[in-house]
Amino acid sequence: MEIGYTEAGRGVPLVLLHAFPLTAAMWVAQRTGLADTCRVITPDQRGFGASKLPDDEPDLGTAADDLRDLLDLLELPDVVLGGLSMGGYVAFEFLRRHPERVRGLVLADTKATADQPAAAENRLRIAAQVEADGDAGVLRREVVPNLIGATTRWQRPEVYETVAALAVGQPPAAVAWAQRAMAARPDSTDLLPGIAVPTLVIVGEDDAVTPPEDAILLANGIPGAHLRRIPAAGHLTALEAPERFNTAVRTLLDRL
């Protein structure tokens, strides 16, 4: 498996896993804004960016093992692990398989529960459509509008256009693989009480995909977790409110 990644800074290793349907490019403000505090490592998920897409069956557990391989390559025994949306789902799988390699946790705009049947069916439909169309254009119509909060769309429309361009530029095979893997992911609620590392839960107040109610359930389920709600931000808090996102992450790093 060939894994693409970008890094910046020195110190405590902070690995950030990107959202669907984006790449590690979404973390540029974190690589620049946190590099004076820690070593920020941002991998591309399977098939996205500079990472290859082998012929494995769609499974976020496989993506978690990709991360293990990357940490081995970088000779990092443990890291602070962060994930936003799909990145959070992969983080849960990593915790399930390799808990000893996590020394701190950031869960942003994500949830521990599995998809409801209707949501899973919709993912499978989109996977089939991008394969049939031969491009990811359906994402601009059906996925991107839910990713950016209303305030951001009104005040900073360029953020919406950047996300839309990234989304429609993704390889259809990667989009389909990720959608099927997310649709099949297990419920991770059972993991929450056993998480024994400092944990930060972040959510945008305008998040329509994983709303603040999901973040509250996460924070209440993880012993000692801190919850940070970011006003005027939607599902992609790291892109919509990078300074506030980075400030929240610094508070976790300070706890370490």
Q: For residue range 207-226, list pLDDT tens digits in order.
A: 999 999 999 999 999 999 99
What are the tens digits of pLDDT across the range 130-182? 999 999 999 999 999 999 999 999 999 999 999 999 999 999 999 999 999 99
Name the average pLDDT for the chain: 96
Q: Is residue 124 part of a domain?
A: no
CA 39 distance to own-chain centroid = 18
Q: Is residue 130 part of a domain?
A: no
Residue-number span of the structural domain to which 47 is assigned? 5-113+186-255
Q: Is residue 121 part of a domain?
A: no
Quote the crossing angle between the two packed helices 117-133 and 172-183, to the nearest 10°. Answer: 160
Q: Is residue 223 part of a domain?
A: yes
Predicted local distance difference test score (pLDDT) of residue 1: 63
Residue 30 has pLDDT above 80, yes or no: yes
Residue 54 has pLDDT above 90, yes or no: no
Q: Is residue 128 part of a domain?
A: no
Q: DSSP state, 35?
A: T
Q: Is residue 85 part of a domain?
A: yes
Residue 55 has pLDDT above 90, yes or no: no
How many domains, in total, are found in the chain? 1
Q: Is residue 143 part of a domain?
A: no
Arithmetic mean of pLDDT, 53-74 = 93
CATH number, position 209: 3.40.50.1820
Question: d(Cα 168, Cα 144) in Å, to the nearest integer?
Answer: 9
Arithmetic mean of pLDDT, 62-76 = 96
Reported confidence tier of residue 2, pLDDT bands at 50, 70, 90: confident
What are the tens digits of pLDDT across the range 70-101? 999 999 999 999 999 999 999 999 999 999 99
Q: Is residue 125 part of a domain?
A: no
Q: DSSP state, 171?
A: -
